[in-house]
Chain A
Amino acid sequence: MMNYILRRFLYMIPLMILISILSFTVIKLQPGEFGSQYFGNPRVSPETIENLRARLGLDQPAYIQYLTWVKGIVTEGDFGYSFAYKRPVSELIWERLGWTVVVAGSTILFTWGLAIPIGIYSATHKYSIFDYVFTFIGFLGISVPNFFLALLLMYLVLSFGGTEVGGLFSQQYIGAPWSIAKFIDLLKHIWIPLIAIGTAGMAGVLRQMRGNLLDILGEQYVQTARAKGLNENVVIYKHAVRNAINPLISMFGMQLPKLISGTIISAIVLNLPTMGPFFYDALINQDQYLVMTFLMFSALMMLFGNLIADILLAVVDPRIRLD
């Protein structure tokens, strides 16, 4: 097991290098440079912008910029400097990590915590009203774009006279010390993001769970277990679900990076103070080191996620050997 994990970590290194080169190339392929957004600004003369670009090293060839950046990471742990914020990139990402983890974490809990039980129930009560209703909701969740659902929910809340729309807190609780009231305010705000972002993922997990469980329930060893006289609950939870859940563990590994970078539009629409909208701004501004670091972070999350998924799978399923 340890050998396996070590090997995986070693594989990550060339992979990350490749990803970084690819990302940097794509960024550089974008027309314009940091500073293009300033031409329309009445306070700025074109000469200032040229000077700025020279000072930031943007007049050097692309591969030099890339190598300088990599050197910074490897020798000093310096992920570069944000052109827009004049601060180290690592500080900026760290500041926003907290809420990103909170929103991502609660969304995962919401999605999986609901989808798995519903999937199980759906499979065991196949073709019941409940099954049809939840399948329908599931498909609705997949087909309606997250951000549109978010806008719809906000509109509905407003037309019923509610005021808790947008952001994670009402204006007066932002920055205020924690209290029960603030926590309740958070709950009042966070349910819209949870539903808007969570339902799409939920549908996928739900259908997978249902499908897998149905397959397993048709297997011969389940029939045997029933024939042995085992309690139905034991048959389902101890035997069937445990096997059905394997593919889902693989899916789990992919969830995290998606939650961070796949929800940018929804996060912008919902005005969440997470990394998504921040990344979007960095892209618009062509703040390249911020974009690169963010992309590398996402890639790392995905690689870790996959590793964790593989390890979990080995732990859960005795048939799988890792070496």
Chain B
Amino acid sequence: MKKFLSMTLIIFLVLGLSISAGAQDLEKKVVSDSLVDEAGEYGGEYVISLTSAPQTFNYYGAIDWSTFSIMTNVLDSLVEANPVTQEIEPGLAKDWEYSDDGTTVTLHLRKGVKWSDDEPFNADDVIFTFNNLTLNPNAEANEVSRYEIDGEMVEFTKIDDYTIEVNLPAPYGPFMKILSQAPIAPEHKLAQHLDPENPGAINEAWSTGTDLSEIVGTGPFTVDQYSVDQKLVLKRNPNSWRYDQEGNQLPYVDQLVYVFVQNSEVQLAQFQAGEIDHLQISGKDFPMLKQQEVDGADFKVLTGKPVNPTPSPTHLSFNFDVEDEELKEAFRSLEFREAMADLIDRDRIIDDIYNTLAIESGMPVVPTNEAFYNPEIEEYRRQFNIEKARGILDDLGYKDTDNDGIRELPDGEDFEFNLTTAVDSQDRVDIASLLKDNMEEVGLKVNLNLIKGSLVFDKALAGEFESMVMAFGNQPDPQFRKAIWQPGRALYYWHLSTMSEDGQPVMENMFDWEKEIFEMFEKGQVTMEHPERREYYDRWQLINAQKLPVIFITKGMDLYSVQDDVGNYFVNDDGVIVNINYTVFKK
């Protein structure tokens, strides 16, 4: 009996010790106080609306804004960019070191983090995610192109359960930034979806028909309930590792609810009825909502300096490879583009089209992006001056020889061209109309070509246009979108002859200043130290201002309206709107 008792005791002791030795204490993260304005209270639900339901719950399975917006609440990346300051902060990796030559990064993972189903998070999940999702060319929303440097891929190796070593083929400046946009997915839930016979099988994992208990994450929220095409409910993740300054676990709200409302009028109506807690609004709706706020409605309207680099500032472009030889010569001349820049009445655009809620844009870096904005470009901004434009066109020799009010090109044809823009963006249609009027006033004949947004892209990338009013999806680190801004790339659409059939840059077809921009991007790519990198992008912006590859017009301010009972949703001292899903709370 005694022996039995002591044996049992010993067994329990051993078990107890091993369990506690295996379990890690959670290494919490205290979120930056830039995200918080006042002490939060627990409880309630925070309702957001999206215009379309997610196509899948697999972040890497489809290229879908709704999927991205929703799943970034459920999954975390190794590091995160502070939403307000854009600085890189620890995420699932709590710290990291670079080797001396900048080609190796050692990441130390946060210990004690558990998935929402209580399975421990460790390096295996990171390796699984990078090998089968992020860097898998068959995953639809993969990031392969970002992790390819000089033709070689970045490699991730597990050193131990909480240490990852990353080998970069060459030093890579934006590396931390791209790491912040690669959420880590659970190996224990997704590995079973891999199929050696069907490389695309991973895209079918976590589709919208999946049992929600399969969808686990480390993020502040987990998926709780989905009503097809109507509403998605996320609830607080009990294993969340984010805490506020007072030691309270985040998030504050019990539930984060996404409702899917296709039509923007209905969205507005539901916001006014109090069913939605916050909404991003357009300049057109601003006056009405602000008036209601002043009259005592239960919500407030906030204007913030634009922080989000997306969409890029609206710009006017001329096709340097346009078919008509005369137009080609005109478009390629800097003086002509300067004249066109003189025809842009930004004040009127900001007042009339944006209801004063827009700013002079950067070229294209957003002025609030302190990491990359070059204020020197402001000296080169051209003012609205019709007479000056007229003078330049006269000097260039485009005269109206037959007195029909339209100037003639050297070959006798009218100076006439198309201006293409997306019919589904009211702002751009209005800007294009205004430009057309001003251009016609100085004797150019302009035909508006309004087509569907996605078709505009197709035409741009095929070089089938003459001039265009456009905007691209953009990123805070210009290197990420070098596909647009660096000559010789696929999205450098106004001068496609700088790229060969197989996607290689053709230096002979570039202007001298384009060659210089090309160099700047090449250098910025491989420089790790930010102050040095920054110089290259400063020079790029300066060249943009002086040589006008495209003419940047304006960037809309951030406009949000929010119910009065939402706390920690505010405009900070720098004029930037702060609204983070895991720090807002209901009063």
Contacts and interface: CB of A to CB of B under 8 A. Distances in A.
Contact of B229 (A38, A171, A273): A273
B56 A46 contact: no
Contact of A87 (B207, B475, B503): B207
Contacts of B481: 42
B500 interface: no
B489 to A, nearest CB: 9
A96 B229 contact: yes
Contact of B204 (A86, A95, A96, A165): A86
A78 to B, nearest CB: 14
Nearest to A91: B209
A305 interface: no
B145 A39 contact: no
Contacts of A91: 209
A6 interface: no
Interface in B498-522: 503
A171 B231 contact: yes
Interface in A160-191: 162-163, 165-171, 174-175
Interface of B: 47, 52, 55-56, 58, 61-65, 68, 137-138, 140-146, 181, 200, 203-204, 207-209, 225-231, 233, 257, 259-263, 265-266, 269-270, 272-276, 310-311, 453-455, 457-458, 460-461, 472-475, 480-481, 483, 490-491, 503
Interface in A204-253: none
Contact of A48 (B142, B228, B457): B142
Nearest to A35: B63
Given A166-B261, A269-B265, A39 B273 contact: no
A290 B491 CA distance: 30
A40 B471 CA distance: 8
Contacts of A79: none
Contact of B145 (A45, A87, A167): A45
A278 B140 CA distance: 21
A44 B63 contact: yes
A162 B266 CA distance: 14
B63 A41 contact: yes
Contacts of A167: 230, 259, 261, 266
A162 to B, nearest CB: 8
B207 A166 contact: no
> Which has the most chain A C-beta neighbours within 10 Å: B144, B225, B261, B265?
B265
B458 A32 contact: yes
27 contacts: A31-B455, A32-B455, A32-B458, A40-B457, A40-B472, A41-B65, A42-B473, A43-B143, A46-B491, A48-B142, A52-B140, A84-B64, A85-B207, A85-B208, A87-B204, A87-B207, A87-B208, A96-B228, A158-B269, A163-B274, A166-B263, A171-B257, A171-B276, A270-B266, A271-B266, A278-B229, A281-B52
B207 A86 contact: yes
A55 interface: yes
A84 B140 CA distance: 10
Contacts of B475: 42
Contacts of A76: none
Interface string A10-53: 00000000000000000000011000111111111111100110
B465 to A, nearest CB: 13
A158 B55 contact: no
Contacts of A114: none
Given A96-B228, A271-B262, A165 B52 contact: no
B461 A86 contact: no
A167 B64 CA distance: 23
A40 B138 contact: no
A36 B454 contact: yes
Nearest to A95: B228
B454 A55 contact: no
A277 interface: yes
Nearest to B228: A95
Nearest to B142: A48
B273 A158 contact: yes
Nearest to B276: A171
Contact of B55 (A38, A86, A155): A86
A42 B472 contact: yes
A164 to B, nearest CB: 8
A175 B274 contact: no
Contact of B458 (A36, A87, A95, A273): A36
A154 B275 contact: no
A216 B143 CA distance: 72
A95 B58 CA distance: 19
A314 interface: no
Question: Which of A45, A158, A277 is packed against the most chain B CB atoms within 10 Å?
Answer: A45
A268 interface: yes
A195 interface: no
A175 B262 CA distance: 19
B385 to A, nearest CB: 32
Nearest to B229: A273
